[in-house]
Amino acid sequence: MALTAHSIDVLSEKLVDVAIRMAVGFKVRNFKLKTTPSSFESVIGKALERASKQLPRVVNGELHCGLCGKGPFSRKGLYLHLLRIHRYEVKSLIAEELQRAETLG
């Protein structure tokens, strides 16, 4: 079963908060998706891991945004910045990673 463009869009929207939380080091609450088959859990995990690594950047021991370079931020500040300013960019990044992870298997 392959992910369609629509299902990738819907899934990436649901995973934005999870990816940002992973990026800044916050605890990730149980994010099991009821409609996602268990066969895609590893695909989703890989995509989230790769996407979340691109969001923060550490410069001289301080957190900066990996997308626009602004900072320094506290963890909470970076979380809010990414969520409010870069939400759609993060969604697109997750969608790209989901497509890449699915094609790689």
Res. 6 pLDDT band, cuts 50 70 90? confident
Q: How confident is the model at residue 36 (pLDDT cuts 50, 70, 90)?
A: low
Question: Which pLDDT score, from 0 to 100, does residue 7 have?
Answer: 85
* Predicted local confidence at residue 4, as pLDDT: 83
Using only C-alpha atoms, the chain has a radius of gyration, in whole angstroms, of 14
Rounded to whole angstroms, the Cα distance separating 3 from 102 reads 8
Q: Which helix (H) or strand (E) holds 25?
A: none
Q: What is the pTM of this model?
A: 0.88
Domain ranges of the chain: 5-55+87-104
Continuous segment of H or E residues that includes residue 62: strand 62-65
> Tens digit of pLDDT for each residue in 43-81?
888 899 999 999 999 999 999 999 999 999 999 999 999
Measured distance CA(73)–CA(63) in Å, rounded:
5
